[in-house]
Amino acid sequence: MPIDLDNTEEMFATSTDLTVGLEEEFAVLAPGTLDLVPRFEELRDTAAALDPVLHDAITGELISSEIEIVSGRGEDLHDAIAHQRDRRRRLFTLAANRGVALGSTGTHPWADYREQRNIDTAHYRRVVEGLGYVARRNNTFSLHVHVGVRGADRAVAVCDRLRPILPALLAVSASSPFLEGQDTLLHSVRSQIFSKSFPRCGVPDAFGGWRAFREYLELLIATRSIVEYTQVWWSVRPHASFGTVEVRVCDAQITAAESEGLAGLIVACVGQALRDIDDGMPFDDPPHRLIEENMWRAIRYGLDGNMIDLRRGVEIPARAAIDALWSWTTPVREEARIDVALEGPTGAQRQRAALLEGGDLREVYADTVRETTTTYAQEVPA
């Protein structure tokens, strides 16, 4: 799709604050072995024949052994979650009927990326041909949250204010300690092989407003660096097609409650950033290099480690950084009735603990798949 930046400005001008869209990516698995299997197209085509609502809600990703489910636009977080719960139930029912299991961690623990087949679309052919090994290597699964923001300048300003908290959001979402049959000692190896390898990825620069961001995009377009807006893979970005701020930093979550809790925290962070912007609250943009220091700590240690308090220049426990987000977002959470429950161990912590207690990777992953199946396939509450 050609990039129309004038249309993007119009999209943001007519957007509504704090609408919400959720995108969750799942591994497509053989039930017996839990190996990745290339059956996305089968699931998509079966949904087209049997469940048009589900068909409209599923999309393909880079590999045929991955499937994404989207909520569509919700008028608020609660509306988006209600839509997503219905779509998840439909997806897990369809998968079970087709003899497919679904997993939800940031990486598959033992799959060989060289054996995975890329889906055949113009977009992903372009990605693979353009990035080669970098794209082929990226067999990862994540949670993306879209939050509506009215006005392109406000959307860029929100992204600027979210930059310093990206490491905390990654740390609390980390669920990918294993890759290629080994414990990587990282908490989010997904982030290492995606955001540290793809171009225009990871922590973005601070742009200050739409004009500077547009000039950046115009340079990329003029120099043939990108031909689609989605080739800008920043961990937080204004989304050109939806009039949203999209937060893309989080690993996929093992349980539905964790996914919904993270979505709630992200929506609250965007809402609080908007409130601070509109109230003229001062904001000091930390240097990119310091945010990246915390990103590495989140990748390596997750909530087991420390982060740098960039205002005071001292180390604090990573959990304290999450508590700070909780405190900062209190006004928006209370007003919007956002109940965030992220107090337990992360997916990475639970998986590594199970491994250290004597399990093997296959047993540990099987446990996560059971949790995923049990929680994401639940009926919509009355």
Give the mean pLDDT of the chain: 95
pLDDT, position 169? 98
pLDDT tens track for 247-290? 999 999 999 999 999 999 999 999 999 999 999 999 989 999 99
Burial 157-174 (b: 16+ CB within 10 A, else e): bbbbbbbbbbbbbbbbbb
Between 342 and 33, name the one with better pLDDT. Answer: 33
Q: How far apart are CA 305 and CA 315, in angstroms?
A: 10
pLDDT, position 381? 45
Assign 382 a pLDDT band (cuts: 50, 70, 90): very low
Domains of the chain, by residue range, sit at 5-376
pLDDT, position 1? 55
**Mean pLDDT, rounded, for 151-176:** 98
pLDDT at 313 over 90: yes
Q: Which of 13-22, 205-214, 225-234, 291-300 has the lowest mean pLDDT?
A: 225-234
Strand partners, 144: 23
User: Percent of the chain at pLDDT above 90?
Assistant: 88
pLDDT tens track for 15-53? 999 999 999 999 999 999 999 999 999 999 999 999 999
Q: How far apart are CA 262 and CA 77, in angstroms?
A: 11
pLDDT, position 359? 85
pLDDT, position 183? 97
pLDDT tens track for 39-88? 999 999 999 999 999 999 999 999 999 999 999 999 999 999 999 999 99
**Domain boundaries 5-376, corresponding CATH code:** 3.30.590.20
Alpha-carbon Rg for the chain, nearest whole angstrom, is 20
Residues 197 and 277: beta-carbon distance below 8 Å: no
Q: What is the pTM of this model?
A: 0.96
